């Protein structure tokens, strides 16, 4: 079934104001329920790297299903996650991305609708959240090029996000899992692709993607780096740190 993004379909484009109050209420529920009873967030570092205004792309490693919810909670601005379309159909928890107005992505082939929706959100000066691997993994897998396309076309900065400790959540407060493995989040310095890559083609997008994935990998523990473990291969020819 083709799931449309309710915040864009039939509205003539993205209208953040229509969603602001709803997202504020959902953030209140996250703060008072999920992060009091079910999720232990131990440490957050680098929030000063989140732009105060304007578009941006949060690029996270994805190791637990609560990762997007954690970032929705900790980022001081409202963000718009991209999520696999299957997550919108999960029992009970699938209602959250629908209520939040997340962007559904069909992972088979190129989802041009999701790409255009994400560009619309970026053009309106909002932040999107992307998991470049396309699914959860204990260590980094080869990044898909969609985020590089969005960043090159929109000129939006990419803010890497390293998450640790989230597999297995949610858990009951003060359980053994709660005590032994809290969640930590680290935001890295933003980067932007150089101007000559604004219309990057397919081959260039692969290079752009890999360079950013190595940049993210360097923020992770060695055992999480996976495909991007060999940091001697890391280069920064296509982007600038801002």
Q: Is the CB of residue 141 less than 8 Å from the CB of residue 40?
A: no
CATH architecture under which domain 17-241 falls = 3-Layer(aba) Sandwich (3.40)
Listed in order, strand segments (DSSP E) in the chain are 41-45, 56-60, 79-84, 103-105, 127-130, 158-164, 183-187, 191-193, 239-241
The predicted structure's pLDDT at residue 9: 43
How many Cα neighbours within 13 Å face the side chain of 68?
24
Q: What is the pLDDT of residues 58-80, one digit of tens each?
A: 999 999 989 999 999 999 999 99
Q: Which two tokens stand for residue 194?
A: 């150089």
Q: What is the pLDDT of residue 12?
A: 52
Burial label, 226 (beta-carbon count in 10 A; 0-12, 13-18, 19+): middle
pTM above 0.75, yes or no: yes
- Alpha-carbon distance of 22 to 135, in angstroms, equals 27
Q: Is the dihedral of CA 128, 129, 135, 141 positive or negative?
A: positive
Give the start-to-end residue ranges of the domains of the chain. Answer: 17-241
Contact of 14 with 7, CB cutoff 8 Å: yes
Question: In this predicted model, what pLDDT tens digit does every residue of 37-53 receive, in sequence order?
Answer: 889 999 999 999 999 99
Task: Please list the pLDDT of the chain residue by residue as tens digits (242 residues).
Answer: 344 454 544 445 666 677 778 888 888 888 888 888 889 999 999 999 999 999 999 999 999 989 999 999 999 999 999 988 887 877 767 788 888 889 999 877 778 899 999 999 999 999 999 999 988 999 999 999 899 999 999 999 999 999 999 999 988 888 888 888 899 999 999 999 999 999 999 999 999 999 999 999 999 999 999 999 999 999 999 999 99
């Amino acid at each position: 079934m083709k799931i449309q993004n309710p915040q864009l379909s039939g509205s003539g484009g993205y209208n953040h104001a229509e969603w602001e109050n709803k997202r504020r209420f959902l953030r209140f529920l996250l703060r008072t329920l999920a992060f009091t009873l079910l999720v232990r967030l131990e440490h957050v570092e680098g929030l000063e790297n989140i732009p105060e205004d304007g578009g941006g792309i949060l690029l996270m490693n994805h190791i637990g299903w609560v990762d997007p919810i954690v970032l929705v909670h900790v980022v001081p601005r409202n963000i718009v996650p991209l999520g696999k379309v299957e997550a919108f159909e999960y029992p009970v928890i699938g209602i959250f991305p629908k209520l939040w107005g997340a962007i559904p992505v069909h992972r088979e082939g190129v989802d041009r609708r999701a790409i255009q929706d994400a560009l619309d959100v970026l053009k309106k000066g909002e932040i999107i959240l992307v998991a470049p691997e396309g699914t959860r993994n204990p260590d980094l897998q080869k990044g898909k090029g969609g985020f590089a396309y969005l960043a090159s076309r929109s000129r939006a900065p990419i803010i890497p996000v390293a998450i640790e400790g989230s597999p297995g959540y949610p858990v009951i407060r003060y359980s053994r899992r709660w005590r032994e493995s809290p969640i930590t989040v680290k935001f890295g310095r933003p980067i932007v692709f150089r101007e000559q890559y604004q219309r990057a083609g397919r081959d260039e997008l692969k290079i752009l993607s890999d360079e950013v994935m190595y940049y993210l990998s360097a923020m992770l523990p060695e055992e999480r780096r996976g495909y991007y473990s060999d940091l001697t291969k890391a280069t920064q020819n296509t982007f600038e740190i801002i």
